[in-house]
Chains A and B, each alone.
Chain A
Amino acid sequence: MLAADLVSLTLSRSGGHLPGLRPTWQMRVDGLSPARRRQLDRLLTAVDPQAPGLAAGSTWPDAFRYELTLTGREGDPVTLRFADQDGHPAWLDALADWVRRNADSD
């Protein structure tokens, strides 16, 4: 998967100590600079929606839960669900962190 295949990325977070605090970060890929597009390409090469460890059911007390949705130019959006320290693959943390730092938040 490459940045050119995507329309947008959306990260939403829940959990933690404050139940009402559920921020969402959204970014449209069209508006990215060439440098950021290259960064995103590097992160996307690791993405594997079938990777083991995804969609783990249980979370630790007070841990955050995340939903990262990749909306492509074709096909249905892909939503990856994970939580802090639930055994998910490391590339998800890297991609989610990048979205959080580069996107607009609600």
Chain B
Amino acid sequence: MTRYQSLCTHCPGGSCFIIPPHILENVINSTEDPLVRRRAVDNLHLQGHFRGMRAGIAQFAFAGLSTGTKRRTIYNARNATALPGTLARSEGGKKSRILSVNEAYDGSGATYDFFLNAFGRNSIDGNGMRLDSSIHYGRAYDNAFWNGQQMVYGDGDGKLFGRFTQCLDVIGHELTHGITQYTAKLDYQDQPGALNESMSDVFGSLLKQYTLGQSADKADWLIGAGLLVPKAGTLRTALRSMKAPGTAYNDPLLGKDPQPDHMKNYDSGSYDNGGVHINSGIPNRAFYLAATTIGGKAWEVPGKIWYEVLTTRLRAQSQFADAARETRDVAKKYGKPAATAVDAAWKAVGL
């Protein structure tokens, strides 16, 4: 184990074993003693220096700040797959010359603001968690994902996919996987997995609508519009359509969008973790129907219903029927029109 001389002033001989970073971060976030916090921050800086990551660790200087304080850090993976990569921009830092750095920075900031302002949530974990992102992951990497700790964005191959940071709803989709991880913990398989995907689509779309100031009837209800590179003679509108599941793309390379819009077409196949990106079309359409029937800004009433259900009522093994029952129940808080709209929406998709 690494030993560090003279870091610790209260250990015998002035030396001690270095404390693991996660413990130091807990200390920074929880202590009220400024001296203890200062020592912990210094320790993290030193550990970061030892690992050649001092610049990245600078973010911890923000630790312990109150609700409403964003802490974003964007790294450049430089076309490798080791994470996080080198620091490209941290909170309050100047704009980068790399477009995807700024898109990831702005997108994670918009997501933070949206969840705070619309639902009172302080970041992914509800406790001010840092929003870390790595761009330029892999070579021509056709994907973006949440790895349990941070966002990962590929550049796309330029033939099928563009860069994944360009779509705000995709950024919101991925960060919502983090919120699900800290709340409902929905399994990523079968119906719980499809609910997990649907929740990410719902809040990804709401983020876009919130940012654009759109009402439900003006929104496109598409996920990842513009991410697929257009090609003559093919349909490459988006990754998914919440309004009309199954219509987002139809292309010789991509296949046809397989999403059903009703339980009678539920896909019981085993691939895609039991159809998590396929059957999510069913609860997606239920949300779209509820939101457009209720009307107005979709994050205000239907968004709050779905948020409460995600964060307080769903569990790892929740099924579509559970989500339908719980949203029906929570909708009653918002009056009869909302309750009727939510009930009708689920009935329309066979639940």
Listed in ascending order, the chain A residues whose CB lies under 8 Å from chain B are 14-22, 58-64, 84-85, 90, 93, 97, 101
**Please, which residue of chain A has its CB at the minimum distance from the CB of B174?**
A62
Bitwise, B156-193 to A at CB < 8 A (1) or not (0) is 00001000000000000010010000000000100000
A60, B271: Cβ atoms under 8 Å?
no
A21, B255: Cβ atoms under 8 Å?
yes
Q: How far is the CB of B115 from chain A (nearest CB, A)?
A: 17
Besides A20-B258, A63-B143, 10 other A-B contacts (C-beta < 8 A): A16-B142, A17-B224, A17-B277, A60-B148, A60-B177, A62-B177, A64-B143, A84-B145, A85-B81, A85-B152
Q: Considering the chains assembled together, what is the distance between the CA atoms of A61 and B146 in angstroms? A: 6
**Please, which residue of chain B has its CB at the minimum distance from the CB of A85?**
B147
Question: B139's contact among A19, A84, A97, by CB below 8 Å, is which?
Answer: A97
Given the known A-B contacts A61-B197, A62-B146, A101-B139, are A19 and B152 also in contact in the complex, defined by CB atoms under 8 Å?
Answer: no
Count CB-based A-B contacts (< 8 Å). Answer: 75
| B255 surroundings in chain A (CB, below 8 A) | 18, 20-21
Q: Considering the chains assembled together, what is the distance between the CA atoms of A16 and B137 in angstroms? A: 14
A61, B239: Cβ atoms under 8 Å?
no
Listed in ascending order, the chain B residues whose CB lies under 8 Å from chain A are 81-83, 138-139, 142-148, 152, 160, 174, 177, 188, 196-197, 200, 224, 239-240, 249, 253-256, 258, 271-273, 275, 277-278
Q: How far is the CB of B249 from chain A (nearest CB, A)?
A: 8
**Please, which residue of chain B has its CB at the minimum distance from the CB of A14?**
B271
**Per DSSP, are chain A's interface residues mostly helix, strand or loop, or mixed?**
loop
**Please, which residue of chain B has its CB at the minimum distance from the CB of A94?**
B81
Q: Considering the chains assembled together, what is the distance between the CA atoms of A60 and B276 in angstroms? A: 12
B271, A63: Cβ atoms under 8 Å?
no
15 A-B contacts, Cβ less than 8 Å apart? Answer: A16-B142, A16-B143, A17-B143, A17-B224, A19-B271, A19-B275, A60-B145, A60-B146, A61-B177, A62-B146, A84-B81, A84-B143, A84-B152, A93-B81, A97-B138
